Amino acid sequence: MASEVHLVVVGPGGGADLRLVHEARCRLEHLERRWSRFLPGSDITRLNVSAGEPIEVDADTITLFVAMRDAWGRTGGRFDPTVLPALVGAGYGASKEDPDLVTAIPAGAVSGGCMADIVVDPERGTVAVPREVAVDPGGLGKGLAADLVVGALLDAGATGALVAVGGDLAMAGEPPDASGWRVEVEHPDASLGMLCTVSVNGGGIATSSTRSRRWVVDGRSHHHVIDPATGVESVTDLASVTVFARSGWLAEAYATAALLVGSATVLDELERHELTGVAVALDGRILATPDLEPAVHTVTGSVP
């Protein structure tokens, strides 16, 4: 998933813990093989080039599409996995890990296809994506992967687990420390250190940012956040938004939506969904929900 992965397992100890960590890594690798838009045999690639035909997919992929459609509805379409053609058009068609792996999308695919038109049939284990639509789970895939692996670790005997895939975290059960799961939220400008350090009982945390995936085409810098309302790269004045929610995939969806609304209304957006979060504007302002304000460190400087 082009990300560093961190696993924390609280369990019976010894070899059992090592077995759990190995199984968690294997599950993450399985999810990447199913969900990557860069792999020719993944469920996502097969669906994107299926010309609208129902395709039998992995059970986890059914879960993914249910989550993506739910996230699309909850955010009023601000989280929209069908903006993939615009993302490829902006220059993000090849994998950052292996430039020989290139996203396959159908000719004539357009951004902003309606998620409601994607047919998910859990009983038959199939998904049908309209021929003019191409999807990319994006960060939600990382958040959901963390959720699924945490659940699998607890089912396999761990008493507590934390999984972090890039900027998306999920955690549940008994933490290593009695005070809770201790999480550090990084400033989008790494030279400025940490935004805040918090302890939580469980749930998900995700950060959406215009600074994390960038590339240059014809001398112009681009980022990966496409605004579904315009079909092009977002011009948000926020560098990052971090959201705390009940699951990793929900945190990612809401973080993406909050990033798009900009600094003027980001706190209203978080309050409307009863979420805890912190945002950093390009001019250096830090905007936090009231419950998080005491934990936020004082840092200064605009985001390059």
The sign of the CA dihedral 302, 140, 99, 87 is negative
The pLDDT of residue 282: 93
Residues 191 and 116 in one domain: no
Residues 184 and 246 in one domain: yes
Indicate the residue among 113, 136, 159 that finishes a domain: 136
**20 and 11 in contact (C-beta within 8 Å)?**
yes
More confident site: 13 or 209: 209
Residues 132 and 229 in one domain: no
* Digit-coded pLDDT (tens) for 56-71: 999 999 999 999 999 9
Beta bridge partners of 176: none
Residues 218 and 270 in one domain: yes
Domain span including residue 228: 177-295
Residues 215 and 46: their CA atoms lie apart, in Å, by 27
The pLDDT of residue 1: 83
* Digit-coded pLDDT (tens) for 256-282: 999 999 999 999 999 999 999 999 999
Name the burial class of residue 183, with classes exposed (0-12), middle (13-18) and buried (19+) by CB atoms within 10 angstroms of its CB. middle
Number of separate domains in the chain: 2
Residue showing tokens 């799961």: 181
* Digit-coded pLDDT (tens) for 131-149: 999 999 999 999 999 999 9
Residues 117 and 201 in one domain: no
- At 301, is the pLDDT very low, low, confident or very high (cuts 50, 70, 90)? low
Q: What are phi and psi of 277, to 5 degrees?
A: -170, 170
Q: State the Cα angle at 244 between 240 and 245, rounded to 5°.
A: 130
- At 111, is the pLDDT very low, low, confident or very high (cuts 50, 70, 90)? confident
Residues 132 and 240 in one domain: no
- Give a yes or no: residue 13 inside a domain: no
CATH code for position 129: 1.10.3980.10
The pLDDT of residue 302: 59
> Of 21-30, 231-240, 244-253, where does mean pLDDT reach its minimum?
231-240
The pLDDT of residue 238: 96
Indicate the residue among 136, 164, 197 that finishes a domain: 136
**70 and 92 in contact (C-beta within 8 Å)?**
no
Residues 182 and 231 in one domain: yes
Residues 291 and 11: their CA atoms lie apart, in Å, by 32
CATH code for position 290: 3.10.520.10
Average pLDDT for residues 71-98, to the nearest whole number?
Answer: 92
For residue 18, give both structure tokens.
């090592």
- At 193, is the pLDDT very low, low, confident or very high (cuts 50, 70, 90)? confident
Average pLDDT for residues 195-214, to the nearest whole number?
Answer: 89
Considering the chain, what is the average pLDDT of its residues? 91
Q: What are phi and psi of 208, to 5 degrees?
A: -110, 135
Helix residue ranges per DSSP H, 75-137? 84-89
Is a pLDDT exceeding 60 seen at residue 223?
yes
Residues 55 and 96: their CA atoms lie apart, in Å, by 28
